Amino acid sequence: MKRAALVLLTVLLGGQAHAQSKVGTTIGQFLRIEPGARHAGMGNAGVGLAGGVEAVYFNTGAIGLPESAEIQFTHSFWFADISYDYAAALLPVGGGNLFASLTSLKSGDIDVRTVDEPQGTGEKFNVGNAALGLGYGRRVTSRFTAGIQLNYVNERVWHTSTNVLTFNAGTHYRLTEDGTSLGFCLTNIGTQGRYTGRDLAIQYDEDPDTHGDNSALPGEQSTDRFPVPIQFRLGVSVPYCIDDSNRMVFVCDALHPNDNTESVNLGAEWAWRELFALRLGYQTLFQEDSEQGLTAGFGVGGDLGAHRYQFDYAWASHEYLEATHRMTFLIKF
């Protein structure tokens, strides 16, 4: 089994798949923002990493792994003062686990500017995106778990918006007794979205050459239907025990999106007695014209009465924009 994991790792790192880039052709790009600071610190890799509620975004199959209830809250300081928030909860029910998540991205107020009034009209507009997810996962065997998640996605620009439904599916398989694991996840399979709203309303003259008719007929512009950002993830995680107090884990993911070229994410974590952890990673390796790269982070954890808490922080670099920061707080009941 270890040999199979090493072969997969070699394949993931072995070369770059060449494909036509379709950057900018999908809606709902906020769905690509990873909400887990632990994984983000490791290069946003971890589809094969065994975890709890924080691992579900990277692998829907992780829904079936925890044996107790967990909740997660994440806040990200994104580019241009954009605010990103994510909350999720996982609850054991019967032979499996139920999962729910809420994602929100807000731009804040932005000045409305026109050609005639480039300094602003005095009006304000904003952009807001939201997604609600509901999922279920369970252990199929002692080594194999599977999960599925349905998502309602809303994307709004001022008074114009679109709504779509998507679903995610994933599996997690523990290859060896020491925890070497393989993961697969397919996210955002779903419908296409078309924008509607009063900002698309227009007035038009049906026959400009005719005088005396109504030259200000009400109408509405129709947009194309746009796909959502589908992504396939395949990855492996390999733990390494240094001694009774120190352990490490190495993760590697291969990503195949429908609107960009293939890439690889790499990461590693060192943890001391499950109380403190340091992380380092690199994301979008081999991606054509990649603007992302190095990531780093840390985590602290401990007991909170009868429960356990965990706080994680991640920093991610960007070639042209400012770095982003994520903070995640977990409680395990």
User: Amino acid letter at 226?
Assistant: F
**pTM of the predicted structure, to 2 decimals:** 0.87
With helix as H, strand as E and coil as C, how does the chain read?
CHHHHHHHHHHHHHCCCCCCCCCCCCCCHHHHCCCCHHHHHCCCCCCCCCCCHHHCCCCHHHHHCCCCCEEEEEEEECHHHCEEEEEEEEEEECCEEEEEEEEEEECCCEECCCCCCCCCCCCEECEEEEEEEEEEEEECCCCEEEEEEEEEEEEEECCEEEEEEEEEEEEEEECCCCCCEEEEEEEEEECCECCEEHHHEEEECCCCCCCCCCCCEEEECCCCCECCCCEEEEEEEEEEECCCCEEEEEEEEEEEECCCCCEEEEEEEEEECCCEEEEEEEEEECCCCCCEEEEEEEEEEEEECCEEEEEEEEEEEECCCCCEEEEEEEEEC
Share of the chain above pLDDT 70, in %: 91
Please state, in angstroms and rounded to a whole number, the distance separating the CA atoms of residues 310 and 27. 33
pLDDT of res. 20: 55
Asked if residue 6 has pLDDT above 50, the reply is: no
Span of 20-24, 160-164, 165-169, 292-296 with lowest mean pLDDT:
20-24
Region 69-76: what's the mean pLDDT? Answer: 96
What pLDDT digit, counting tens, does each position of 128-164 carry?
Answer: 999 999 999 999 999 999 999 999 999 999 889 999 9
Structure tokens at 14: 């072995």
- Is 251:236 a contact under the CB 8 Å cutoff? yes
- The domains located in the chain, with CATH, are 2-192+227-332 (2.40.160.60)
12 has a pLDDT exceeding 80? no
pLDDT category, 23, cuts 50, 70, 90? confident
* Better-predicted residue by pLDDT, 204 or 315: 315
pLDDT on residue 2: 43
Least confident of 57-71, 212-226, 268-282, 283-297: 212-226
What is the band of 7 on the pLDDT scale with cuts at 50, 70, 90? very low
Closest alpha carbon to 167 in 191, 184, 183, 146:
191
Range 43-69 average pLDDT: 95
Q: Are 93 and 82 in contact (CB under 8 A)?
A: no
The answer to which of 6-15, 116-125, 166-175, 261-270 has the lowest mean pLDDT is: 6-15
pLDDT digits (tens, 9 = 90+) for 208-231: 767 766 667 777 787 889 899 999
